[in-house]
A and B are shown apart, each in its own frame.
Chain A
Amino acid sequence: MSIHVQHLQKNFQVHVRNAGWIDALRSLFHREYRTVEAVKDISFQIESGEIVGFLGPNGAGKTTTIKMLAGLLYPTAGQILVEGFVPFEQKVEFKKMMSLVMGQKSQLIWDIPPMETFLVNKAVYEIEERAFQRTLEELVELLELQPLLGKPTRSLSLGQRMKCELAATLLHQPKVLFLDEPTIGLDVHTQEKVRQFIAKYNREHNTTILLTSHYMGDVTALCQRVMIINHGQLLYDGDLQILSEKLTPYKLIEVRLPEVPSVSWEKYGELVGVDEGKVSLRVARERVTDVSARLLHDFSVADLNIQDPPMEEVITLAFQEEVHAS
């Protein structure tokens, strides 16, 4: 067991005041506080080597949870064990076996090449010279860093910087990796590269990874299992595929025909759209095989394509419907 969380809870005291200078003045002497329950009651477990996607709209409590797991925030209530450590005790051994990457915050030293940050981390994590060289070599190759090592960080592009950021956090070969929106702001190509890297790294090192992202692509490409959180509560924890089947009990069938006959498509399924030579139908999951066979029988089909509904749609539904963990 890599990560073990039980009845985790975090409240923040937030100072409230209305706009305007009179209220600003009043708040100087008398402050009103409101308690915000960022995380209400969350329990889950993650096995070693798993990649789990952590999804939720802004302000759902994702980052708060990750920060508690990384030992940055002190939980209001509940227990956390990460590889047997209580994170907030902030033991050196704990810090040496985990890493945190935040897509919106950088740890690289701005004015000098990324290699210098790597060397600082080498000293801080007490990495042996041999191990350091070996890991660095591997990361440089996987992330294609060679041309970037000597350039000042400030002159790197966002994507290049993120790659160096990943390298800097993996030099000490952590067992647990927290990735908070690692692909934010990157172009599609670089996103893809970063994903491939994370997948490969996980395979080769059996690193436990907890990933949050706003890009569904990250999650579908990397995670079998997702946890969905909203308003500080876990709405779903389980297989991504099952979630999809549960929330969207249909598939999309796309049929290509030499020419589209004018028949009533409703007997096959719900008509989504008719294009030039192409018909899209929404069909209940249990009828998919049946309908496909009939379509192939009734028409001279050039091509038939069965698709799952887009994951964005599934997640949007998940946020709305508040399905509970199965």
Chain B
Amino acid sequence: MRRNLRIFREFFRTCLVEELEYRSEFLGNLLSSLFGIAIAILTIQIFFFQTDQLGGWPYADVLVLLGIFNTLQGLIDFALKPNMSRLLQNIRKGTLDYVLTKPVDSMFFVSFRHLVFWRLVDVLLGLGLVAYGLWVKRYVPTLSDLLIFLVTLFASLVLIYALWMLLMTTAFWVIKIDDLSFVFNSFFETTRFPIGTYRGWLRIVLTYVLPAALITSTPASALLGNWSVGATLITVVVAGIFLWLSRLFWRYALRSYTSASS
């Protein structure tokens, strides 16, 4: 773990150098992020013209949820997404061979080698929105709220990572799908609203099969003081199980990997 952290620091440094080589249009990206979050808030407000509850959640709570959604989205775009297209390329061109000869966990390497820094702006904006939601509700989280929030947020990150890797690993067989991240996004978008918004089989799937319900709702509830030890434990355990599954799947995929011949 400590070792991986050191390696991650090196990835961080290298990517910073890489990004400075091609100075991205920081201002333009900042504007687009701001615009995106403004539209999201506006959409919520339109809902609340008609009703004062969304899936059982009042306005301020939904803002907190949306803030967490944005934070997680930012983190996905920061670390996971930039690596996806490269994994596909590595598999197709056979340069995954180099990754596999390195004395480093290959799953760790392919998921964090490339980072896009300006996406961290979304994380900051998301956290800002969370703070704003709390202010609207006039609620100051207690220390234990904050602690449970951090635990569940971390569990959510692990869960997202595991689901993401499960999907990305299919690239070993369907090496022609160029945008697997589209599939993931469609799923992840469902966590933008409280799980109560969904009805019927969709709700069942999102709760029990792909636990989208846990991803944003649990940390948001925790921060708003509505947590229980049971729900927190479940989130942590589910995250752990999915991470374990994704590792199993990755190992299985490597076994059947027949790199492109030279």
The chain A residues found within 8 Å of chain B, CB to CB, are 12, 63-64, 67, 70-74, 90, 92-93, 95-96, 98-100, 102-107, 109, 111-112, 116, 119-126, 152, 180-181
A67 to B98, alpha carbons, bound, how many Å? Answer: 11
22 contacts between A and B (CB under 8 A): A63-B261, A64-B261, A72-B97, A72-B100, A72-B257, A95-B103, A96-B103, A100-B97, A102-B262, A103-B262, A105-B94, A107-B98, A111-B22, A112-B14, A112-B21, A116-B18, A119-B13, A120-B14, A123-B6, A124-B10, A124-B103, A125-B102
**B255 beta carbon closer than 8 Å to chain A:** yes
> Which residues of chain A come closer than 8 Å to B95, judged between CB atoms?
105-107
Expressed in whole angstroms, the minimum distance between the Cβ of A39 and any Cβ of chain B is 12
**B101 beta carbon closer than 8 Å to chain A:** yes
Expressed in whole angstroms, the minimum distance between the Cβ of A158 and any Cβ of chain B is 16
**B17 beta carbon closer than 8 Å to chain A:** yes
Is there an interface contact between A72 and B103, defined as CB atoms closer than 8 Å?
no
**B176 beta carbon closer than 8 Å to chain A:** no
Given contacts A73-B258, A120-B14, A124-B103, could you give 17 more A-B pairs where the C-beta distance is less than 8 Å? A63-B261, A72-B100, A95-B101, A98-B101, A100-B101, A104-B262, A105-B93, A105-B94, A105-B98, A106-B95, A109-B14, A111-B21, A112-B17, A112-B21, A119-B10, A124-B10, A124-B104
Is there an interface contact between A116 and B14, defined as CB atoms closer than 8 Å?
yes
Is there an interface contact between B10 and A120, defined as CB atoms closer than 8 Å?
yes
Is there an interface contact between B10 and A181, defined as CB atoms closer than 8 Å?
no
Given contacts A98-B101, A105-B98, A107-B95, contact A120 B11 (CB under 8 A): yes
Interface string of B1-45 (1 = CB under 8 A from A): 001001101110110011001100000000000000000000000
A116 to B13, alpha carbons, bound, how many Å? Answer: 9
> Which residues of chain B come closer than 8 Å to A100, judged between CB atoms?
97-98, 101
Is there an interface contact between A181 and B103, defined as CB atoms closer than 8 Å?
no
**B259 beta carbon closer than 8 Å to chain A:** yes
A106 to B22, alpha carbons, bound, how many Å? Answer: 21
> Which residues of chain B come closer than 8 Å to A106, judged between CB atoms?
95
Given contacts A102-B262, A112-B18, A119-B10, contact A74 B97 (CB under 8 A): no
A109 to B18, alpha carbons, bound, how many Å? Answer: 9
Is there an interface contact between A67 and B7, defined as CB atoms closer than 8 Å?
no
> Which residues of chain B come closer than 8 Å to A90, judged between CB atoms?
100
Is there an interface contact between B21 and A123, defined as CB atoms closer than 8 Å?
no
Is there an interface contact between B14 and A119, defined as CB atoms closer than 8 Å?
yes
Interface string of B242-262 (1 = CB under 8 A from A): 000000000000010111011
A99 to B97, alpha carbons, bound, how many Å? Answer: 11
Most interface-central of B22, B94, B103, B104 (chain A CB within 10 A) = B103
> Which residues of chain B come closer than 8 Å to A98, judged between CB atoms?
101
Q: 8 Å CB contacts to A: which residues of B114-161? A: none
> Which residues of chain B come closer than 8 Å to A64, judged between CB atoms?
261
For A108, give the chain B residue with the smallest CB separation: B98
For B105, give the chain A residue with the smallest CB separation: A92
For A13, give the chain B residue with the smallest CB separation: B258
Is there an interface contact between A124 and B7, defined as CB atoms closer than 8 Å?
yes
A74 to B140, alpha carbons, bound, how many Å? Answer: 57
Q: 8 Å CB contacts to A: which residues of B66-112? A: 93-95, 97-98, 100-104
A12 to B256, alpha carbons, bound, how many Å? Answer: 10
A122 to B101, alpha carbons, bound, how many Å? Answer: 14
Expressed in whole angstroms, the minimum distance between the Cβ of A85 and any Cβ of chain B is 12
Is there an interface contact between A123 and B262, defined as CB atoms closer than 8 Å?
no
For B262, give the chain A residue with the smallest CB separation: A104
A142 to B3, alpha carbons, bound, how many Å? Answer: 31
**Among candidates A74, A95, A99, A105, residue contacting B255 with C-beta atoms closer than 8 Å:** A74
Given contacts A72-B97, A105-B98, contact A126 B3 (CB under 8 A): yes
For A181, give the chain B residue with the smallest CB separation: B262
> Which residues of chain A come closer than 8 Å to B262, judged between CB atoms?
63, 102-105, 180-181
Expressed in whole angstroms, the minimum distance between the Cβ of A122 and any Cβ of chain B is 8
Is there an interface contact between B17 and A116, defined as CB atoms closer than 8 Å?
yes
Expressed in whole angstroms, the minimum distance between the Cβ of A147 and any Cβ of chain B is 19
Is there an interface contact between A123 and B101, defined as CB atoms closer than 8 Å?
no
Is there an interface contact between B103 and A125, defined as CB atoms closer than 8 Å?
yes
Is there an interface contact between B97 and A95, defined as CB atoms closer than 8 Å?
no
For A38, give the chain B residue with the smallest CB separation: B261
Expressed in whole angstroms, the minimum distance between the Cβ of A10 and any Cβ of chain B is 9
For B255, give the chain A residue with the smallest CB separation: A74
Given contacts A92-B103, A95-B103, A124-B102, contact A67 B14 (CB under 8 A): no
A107 to B3, alpha carbons, bound, how many Å? Answer: 21
> Which residues of chain B come closer than 8 Å to A124, judged between CB atoms?
7, 10, 102-104
A262 to B3, alpha carbons, bound, how many Å? Answer: 79
Is there an interface contact between A73 and B259, defined as CB atoms closer than 8 Å?
yes
The 10 closest A-B pairs by CB, nearest first: A123-B10, A95-B103, A107-B98, A92-B103, A104-B262, A96-B103, A100-B101, A123-B7, A124-B104, A105-B95
**Among candidates A67, A92, A96, A152, residue contacting B259 with C-beta atoms closer than 8 Å:** A67
